Amino acid sequence: MLRATFHGHSCVMATDGKYNIIIDPFLTGNPQAIINADEVKVDYILVTHGHGDHLGDTVAIAKRSKAIVIAPNELATYISKHGVKTHNMHIGGAFNFPFGRIKLTIAHHGSAAGEELIYTGSPCGFLVMMGGKTLYHSGDTGLFYDMKLIGDGNQIDLAFLPIGDNFTMGIDDAVIAVELLHPKIVVPIHYQTWPVIDAEPFEFVNKLKDFPTEVIILKPGESIEG
């Protein structure tokens, strides 16, 4: 069993009933979030890149929950300097954690933290094999053709893909991403948080209506069982 809960923007929590993980815990200042960072209790925090709308409340949640942060090496090193335990990984690498297996995938984007724009290496996406299911969270990225390798090499049950445009894929590119990844279910993320990424998710649903993939729009706080 794998239950994933969307918390607005790019934040996804997942549980197998025993372990709880959160991806990109941007809650403080996230206009879509309906929970506070201090309500979050997780075992692991996965961070795709250093931008504030993804790194978010990582340090505060990690300290309070005593959670381990999983991130690309440079970003994990930056986070560890804030007194948080990290597990450093990098693109293409996988590791078996107590809750499941994580593999880092490429993402075409930037990654710098804070107003000083401290370099935090390459951004990533995550393949999460947990509770007998495979979840893919692409992180912020443009469309890339290697999504075909990710889709052909893994039976993705649940994909979280940005559709907001401007900073990431827009709807038309996200439709091609679904073609390459062919997940069972896709959930659009990273849209309508701010006017500049004001994409309409029903347009995404409409463009995928003849695809075998099911599109599910989750409101913040809503869950899906993969």
| Token pair belonging to 133 | 């299911």
User: Considering CB distances under 5 to 8 angstroms, the limit depending on partner class, which of Mn ion, Ni ion, none binds residue 9?
Assistant: none
In whole angstroms, what is the distance from residue 196 CA to residue 190 CA?
11
Given Mn ion, Ni ion, none, residue 165, with its beta carbon under 5 to 8 Å by kind, binds none
Strands (E), the chain: 3-6, 12-15, 20-23, 44-46, 68-72, 86-89, 94-97, 100-106, 112-113, 118-119, 124-130, 133-137, 158-162, 185-189, 214-215, 223-225
Select from 140, 157, 165, 173 the one that contacts Mn ion (CB under 5 A). Answer: 140
Q: Is 65 exposed, middle or buried (0-12, 13-18, 19+ CB in 10 A)?
A: middle
Instruction: Report if residue 24 touches Mn ion, rule: CB under 5 A.
Output: no
Residue numbers at the binding site for Ni ion (CB under 5 A): 51, 140
Cα distance between residue 62 and residue 79, in whole Å: 10
Task: Please state, as a whole number, how many other Cβ atoms lie within 10 Å of the Cβ of residue 114.
Answer: 12
Per partner kind, with CB cut-offs from 5 to 8 A, the member of Mn ion, Ni ion, none near residue 57 is none
Cα separation, 101 vs 82, whole angstroms: 26
Neighbouring CB atoms inside 10 A of 169's CB total 25
Q: How far is the CB of 173 from Mn ion (least distance, A)?
A: 15
Which of the listed partners (Ni ion, Mn ion, none) does 157 bind, with a CB threshold of 5 to 8 Å by partner kind? none
- 140 versus 157: smaller Cβ distance to Ni ion: 140
53 versus 165: smaller Cβ distance to Mn ion: 53
CB of 52 to Mn ion, least distance (A): 8
Least distance from Ni ion to the Cβ atom of residue 96, Å: 28
Q: Which two tokens stand for residue 42?
A: 């997780």
Binding residues with Mn ion: total (CB under 5 A): 2
Contacting Mn ion (CB under 5 A), which of 20, 26, 53, 71? 53
**Rounded least distance, CB 138 to Mn ion, Å:** 11
The minimum distance between CB 53 and Mn ion, in angstroms, equals 4
Q: Which letter does DSSP use for residue 19 in this model?
A: -
**Cβ 54 to Mn ion, closest distance in Å?**
6
CB 39 within 8 A of CB 61: no
51/137 with CB nearer Ni ion? 51
Applying CB under 5 A, which residues contact Mn ion? 53, 140
